[in-house]
Amino acid sequence: MLPNQQEVIYEEFLEIDKESQDNLELIDGKIYLLAAPSVIHQIVVTNLLTEFGNYFKGKECRHFVAPFDVVLKDEEKTHKVQPDLTVICDKSGLGEQNYQGVPTLVVEVLSPSTASIDFIKKMDIYMKVGIKEYWIISPGNSTVQIFSSFLLQGYLHFYKRGMNCNLR
Protein backbone atom coordinates (compact mmCIF):
# COMPACT_ATOMS: atom_id res chain seq x y z
CA MET A 1 0.00 0.00 0.00
CA LEU A 2 1.22 3.48 -0.70
CA PRO A 3 2.23 5.29 2.51
CA ASN A 4 -0.12 7.75 4.24
CA GLN A 5 -2.89 7.46 1.71
CA GLN A 6 -6.50 8.37 2.06
CA GLU A 7 -9.17 6.02 0.79
CA VAL A 8 -10.00 6.72 -2.86
CA ILE A 9 -12.96 5.82 -5.04
CA TYR A 10 -12.57 4.03 -8.36
CA GLU A 11 -12.94 7.19 -10.47
CA GLU A 12 -10.15 8.91 -8.51
CA PHE A 13 -8.00 5.82 -8.85
CA LEU A 14 -8.42 5.83 -12.64
CA GLU A 15 -6.84 9.30 -12.81
CA ILE A 16 -3.94 8.25 -10.58
CA ASP A 17 -3.46 5.01 -12.53
CA LYS A 18 -3.47 6.84 -15.87
CA GLU A 19 -0.65 9.15 -14.71
CA SER A 20 1.43 6.39 -13.11
CA GLN A 21 4.21 4.43 -14.76
CA ASP A 22 3.74 1.66 -12.17
CA ASN A 23 1.32 -1.25 -12.03
CA LEU A 24 -1.27 -0.40 -9.39
CA GLU A 25 -4.18 -2.22 -7.81
CA LEU A 26 -7.17 -0.73 -6.00
CA ILE A 27 -8.36 -2.95 -3.15
CA ASP A 28 -10.96 -1.75 -0.65
CA GLY A 29 -10.27 1.89 -1.54
CA LYS A 30 -6.50 1.58 -1.00
CA ILE A 31 -3.88 1.75 -3.75
CA TYR A 32 -1.22 -0.96 -3.85
CA LEU A 33 1.97 -0.83 -5.90
CA LEU A 34 2.83 -4.13 -7.56
CA ALA A 35 6.48 -5.08 -7.17
CA ALA A 36 8.49 -6.58 -10.00
CA PRO A 37 8.18 -10.38 -9.90
CA SER A 38 11.10 -12.60 -8.89
CA VAL A 39 12.69 -15.15 -11.20
CA ILE A 40 10.91 -18.10 -9.54
CA HIS A 41 7.62 -16.20 -9.74
CA GLN A 42 8.13 -15.73 -13.48
CA ILE A 43 9.05 -19.40 -13.96
CA VAL A 44 5.87 -20.55 -12.18
CA VAL A 45 3.65 -18.15 -14.15
CA THR A 46 5.28 -19.11 -17.46
CA ASN A 47 4.83 -22.83 -16.75
CA LEU A 48 1.17 -22.28 -15.83
CA LEU A 49 0.63 -20.14 -18.92
CA THR A 50 1.91 -23.00 -21.08
CA GLU A 51 -0.32 -25.55 -19.33
CA PHE A 52 -3.36 -23.29 -19.53
CA GLY A 53 -2.65 -22.62 -23.21
CA ASN A 54 -2.68 -26.33 -23.95
CA TYR A 55 -5.75 -26.98 -21.81
CA PHE A 56 -7.89 -24.15 -23.14
CA LYS A 57 -6.96 -24.57 -26.81
CA GLY A 58 -10.21 -24.83 -28.77
CA LYS A 59 -12.35 -24.12 -25.70
CA GLU A 60 -14.62 -21.14 -25.05
CA CYS A 61 -12.72 -19.82 -22.04
CA ARG A 62 -9.73 -17.50 -22.43
CA HIS A 63 -6.77 -17.03 -20.13
CA PHE A 64 -4.78 -13.86 -19.51
CA VAL A 65 -1.51 -13.13 -17.75
CA ALA A 66 -0.60 -10.04 -15.70
CA PRO A 67 -0.47 -7.19 -16.23
CA PHE A 68 -4.14 -7.49 -17.18
CA ASP A 69 -6.69 -5.42 -15.29
CA VAL A 70 -9.71 -7.11 -13.76
CA VAL A 71 -12.38 -4.72 -12.47
CA LEU A 72 -14.57 -6.23 -9.74
CA LYS A 73 -17.63 -4.67 -8.13
CA ASP A 74 -19.10 -5.75 -4.82
CA GLU A 75 -21.99 -4.13 -2.95
CA GLU A 76 -19.79 -1.35 -1.59
CA LYS A 77 -16.80 -0.68 -3.83
CA THR A 78 -15.13 -1.13 -7.18
CA HIS A 79 -11.73 -2.82 -7.14
CA LYS A 80 -9.03 -3.19 -9.79
CA VAL A 81 -6.69 -6.15 -9.48
CA GLN A 82 -4.06 -7.79 -11.66
CA PRO A 83 -4.02 -11.51 -10.86
CA ASP A 84 -1.01 -13.40 -12.17
CA LEU A 85 -3.37 -15.50 -14.32
CA THR A 86 -7.06 -14.98 -15.04
CA VAL A 87 -9.47 -17.37 -16.76
CA ILE A 88 -12.58 -15.82 -18.30
CA CYS A 89 -15.46 -17.91 -19.63
CA ASP A 90 -18.10 -15.13 -19.77
CA LYS A 91 -16.54 -12.77 -22.31
CA SER A 92 -19.32 -10.15 -22.14
CA GLY A 93 -17.20 -7.92 -19.88
CA LEU A 94 -14.03 -8.20 -21.95
CA GLY A 95 -12.86 -4.82 -23.23
CA GLU A 96 -9.81 -3.59 -25.08
CA GLN A 97 -7.83 -2.89 -21.91
CA ASN A 98 -9.49 -4.87 -19.13
CA TYR A 99 -12.20 -7.23 -17.98
CA GLN A 100 -15.18 -5.92 -16.04
CA GLY A 101 -16.98 -8.85 -14.54
CA VAL A 102 -16.40 -12.03 -12.58
CA PRO A 103 -13.64 -14.31 -13.89
CA THR A 104 -14.08 -18.06 -13.56
CA LEU A 105 -10.61 -18.57 -12.07
CA VAL A 106 -7.86 -16.34 -10.72
CA VAL A 107 -4.35 -17.48 -9.83
CA GLU A 108 -1.91 -15.62 -7.60
CA VAL A 109 1.71 -16.70 -7.21
CA LEU A 110 2.81 -15.53 -3.78
CA SER A 111 5.58 -13.05 -3.24
CA PRO A 112 6.72 -12.20 0.29
CA SER A 113 5.58 -8.59 -0.13
CA THR A 114 2.05 -9.49 -1.27
CA ALA A 115 1.22 -12.72 0.59
CA SER A 116 -1.06 -11.11 3.18
CA ILE A 117 -2.91 -9.14 0.50
CA ASP A 118 -3.42 -12.28 -1.61
CA PHE A 119 -4.53 -14.42 1.35
CA ILE A 120 -6.79 -11.94 3.09
CA LYS A 121 -7.88 -8.91 1.10
CA LYS A 122 -8.05 -10.43 -2.38
CA MET A 123 -9.58 -13.70 -1.21
CA ASP A 124 -12.34 -11.79 0.56
CA ILE A 125 -13.13 -9.78 -2.58
CA TYR A 126 -12.91 -12.81 -4.88
CA MET A 127 -15.34 -14.79 -2.77
CA LYS A 128 -17.71 -11.80 -2.33
CA VAL A 129 -18.04 -11.26 -6.08
CA GLY A 130 -18.46 -14.97 -6.82
CA ILE A 131 -15.24 -16.08 -8.48
CA LYS A 132 -15.57 -19.86 -8.76
CA GLU A 133 -11.95 -20.77 -8.04
CA TYR A 134 -8.96 -19.00 -6.55
CA TRP A 135 -5.55 -20.64 -6.68
CA ILE A 136 -2.76 -19.49 -4.39
CA ILE A 137 0.63 -20.87 -5.36
CA SER A 138 3.52 -20.65 -2.93
CA PRO A 139 6.80 -21.32 -4.76
CA GLY A 140 8.73 -21.17 -1.47
CA ASN A 141 6.65 -23.97 0.05
CA SER A 142 5.99 -25.78 -3.26
CA THR A 143 2.25 -25.71 -2.56
CA VAL A 144 -0.97 -24.92 -4.39
CA GLN A 145 -4.12 -24.08 -2.45
CA ILE A 146 -7.36 -24.11 -4.42
CA PHE A 147 -10.31 -22.29 -2.91
CA SER A 148 -13.68 -22.87 -4.51
CA SER A 149 -17.05 -21.23 -3.99
CA PHE A 150 -19.24 -23.70 -5.90
CA LEU A 151 -22.79 -23.79 -4.53
CA LEU A 152 -21.81 -21.23 -1.88
CA GLN A 153 -20.10 -24.03 0.04
CA GLY A 154 -16.48 -23.01 -0.17
CA TYR A 155 -13.89 -25.73 -0.04
CA LEU A 156 -10.15 -26.05 -0.17
CA HIS A 157 -7.82 -28.43 -1.97
CA PHE A 158 -4.19 -28.46 -0.88
CA TYR A 159 -1.41 -29.81 -3.10
CA LYS A 160 2.26 -30.22 -2.25
CA ARG A 161 5.22 -31.01 -4.52
CA GLY A 162 4.87 -34.52 -5.94
CA MET A 163 1.07 -34.59 -5.79
CA ASN A 164 -0.99 -34.50 -8.98
CA CYS A 165 -3.00 -31.34 -9.54
CA ASN A 166 -4.96 -31.84 -12.74
CA LEU A 167 -6.85 -29.10 -14.54
CA ARG A 168 -10.55 -29.92 -14.76
If one counts the domains in the chain, the total is 1
| Choice between 50 and 168, residue whose per-residue pLDDT is larger | 50
Name the residue range of residue 147's domain.
37-160
Tell me, what CATH number does 95's domain have?
3.90.1570.10
In a domain, 150, yes or no: yes
Model pTM?
Answer: 0.85
Nearest of 53, 49, 109 to residue 83 by alpha carbon: 109
- pLDDT tens, position by position, 45-91: 999 999 999 999 999 999 999 999 999 998 889 999 999 999 999 99
3-class SS shares of the chain: helix, strand, coil, % to 5:
30, 30, 40
Give me the helices (H) in the chain, please.
10-19, 39-56, 115-116, 123-129
In a domain, 32, yes or no: no
Residue 86 lies in a domain: yes
Q: What is the mean pLDDT of residues 130-134?
A: 91
Phi and psi angles of residue 137, each rounded to the nearest 5 degrees, phi first = -110, 130
Helices (H), 57-165: 115-116, 123-129
pLDDT at position 103: 97
Q: Is the pLDDT of residue 142 over 70?
A: yes
**Does any domain span residue 16?**
no
